[in-house]
């Protein structure tokens, strides 16, 4: 594939851990499909980042393939976007080490994600978890990305990437583009079905709290029927925390059907929460149906899937090698 000289380059990656949820889909993944037409788009499954926690090798392989298949199934097009699996491009690990030598200990220590994850798993505070941002720096800078779409919690990492890139450029001359973090405007913030004051998360211990992209229709309907609401039994968007549950369901329904909150309120005027929950569930089932069908096609044809990610790896490696060769020459490594 050929990137356009008239478009900026965007990079986004996702870890193959846990189960991709409706929140991931409506909040980010679906938006990637639109962004691939606006940018020279690069998407990757970040399996190197995944091993900061202990995973069974068989499970990691399976989850990596599933994540790659889902990226294709949601509508990302290999003819428009570069898609690959991170560990199939060795330049990521190599540049990560070089950049770690231009990253200060104090800068890494200030990363809030390291602090948060260290508290959650105090028995596995490994060096990879600490140096995780250096690998992220390499991910971005290898492809000379102009923009990186991130959530608020990841913006700090892109700021560190900018700092390290500027430092390297200051020493050796212009080598890296300085990336800009962008907070995507499109995308609904989907909350837990059981605790609507918290974001829907793929690591939630309560399976009724989230909808997986790959959940079957019966499971989706059952989970929505169990969704937390309130005692008012009237479908309208409210400001109080008591309305958080119904607000969340309205947000989901709006994101899937493209209907405004006002239209939704009129549609369900005089109807109870039972009718509304079923309508939301059915709308989500229809939204996810083509994604699941395409996913199942890919996962049942492993040869085609392997060919796709190998071709993606070759294209990614070609781009990455150009940057890495320049970096190695400037640092002083022999050919």
Interatomic CA distance for residues 91 and 276, integer angstroms? 50
Beta bridge partners of 9: 40
Task: Say how far apart CA 112 and CA 153 lie, in whole Å.
Answer: 8
Pairing of strands 9-14, 40-45: parallel
Q: Which residues have C-beta within 8 Å of that of residue 300, sequence separation ≥ 6?
A: none
Element (H, E) at 84: strand 81-85
Total count of residues recorded for the chain? 335
Bridge pairing between strands 81-85 and 180-182: unpaired
Kindly name the residue from 8, 155, 199, 330 that is annotated as catalytic: 199
Contact 61, 103 (CB under 8 A): no
User: Which entry of 15, 117, 223, 277 is annotated as an active-site residue?
Assistant: 117
Separation of alpha carbons 313 and 297, rounded Å: 21
Quickly count: other Cβ atoms within 10 Å of residue 295's Cβ.
20
Token duo for residue 313: 């790896």
202 part of the active site: yes
Q: Which residues make beta-bridge pairs with 13?
A: 44
Q: Is 330 a catalytic residue?
A: no
Is residue 102 classed exposed, middle or buried when 0-12, 13-18 and 19+ CB atoms within 10 A define those classes?
A: middle
d(CA 208, CA 68): 25
Considering the candidates 202, 259, 322, 328, report the single residue annotated as catalytic: 202
Q: Structure tokens of 20?
A: 């991709």
Alpha carbons 154 and 114: distance in angstroms, whole number: 12
**Cα 224 from Cα 282, distance rounded (Å):** 10
**What crossing angle do the helices spanning 91-100 and 127-142 adopt, rounded to 10°?**
110
The catalytic site residues sit at: 117, 199, 202
């Amino acid at each position: 594939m050929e990137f356009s000289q008239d478009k900026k380059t965007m990079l986004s990656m996702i870890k193959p851990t846990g189960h991709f949820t409706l929140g991931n889909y409506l909040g980010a993944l679906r938006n990637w499909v639109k962004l691939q037409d606006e940018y020279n788009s690069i998407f990757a499954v970040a399996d190197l980042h995944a091993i900061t926690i202990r995973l069974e090798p068989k499970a990691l392989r399976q989850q990596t393939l599933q994540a790659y298949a889902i990226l294709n199934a949601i509508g990302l097009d290999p003819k428009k976007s570069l898609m690959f699996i991170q560990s199939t491009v060795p330049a990521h690990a190599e540049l990560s080490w070089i950049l770690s030598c231009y990253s200060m200990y104090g800068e890494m220590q200030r990363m809030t994600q390291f602090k948060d994850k260290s508290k959650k798993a105090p028995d596995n505070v490994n060096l990879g978890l600490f140096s995780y941002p250096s690998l992220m720096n390499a991910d971005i800078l290898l492809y000379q990305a102009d923009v990186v779409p991130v959530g608020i919690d990841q913006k700090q990492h892109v700021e560190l990437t900018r700092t390290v890139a500027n430092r390297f450029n200051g020493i050796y001359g212009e080598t890296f583009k300085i990336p800009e973090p962008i907070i995507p405007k499109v995308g609904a913030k989907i909350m837990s079905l059981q605790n609507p004051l918290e974001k829907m998360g793929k690591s939630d211990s309560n399976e009724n709290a989230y909808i997986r992209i790959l959940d079957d229709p019966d499971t989706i309907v059952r989970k929505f029927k169990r969704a937390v609401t309130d005692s008012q039994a009237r479908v309208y968007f409210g400001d109080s925390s008591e309305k958080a549950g119904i607000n969340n369901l309205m947000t989901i329904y709006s994101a899937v059907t493209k209907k405004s909150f006002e239209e939704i309120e009129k549609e369900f005027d005089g109807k109870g929460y039972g009718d509304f929950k079923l309508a939301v569930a059915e709308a989500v089932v229809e939204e996810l149906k083509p994604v699941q069908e395409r996913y199942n096609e890919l996962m049942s044809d492993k040869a085609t899937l392997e060919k796709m990610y190998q071709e993606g790896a070759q294209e990614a490696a070609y781009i990455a090698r150009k940057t890495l060769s320049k970096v190695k020459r400037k640092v002083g490594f022999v050919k």
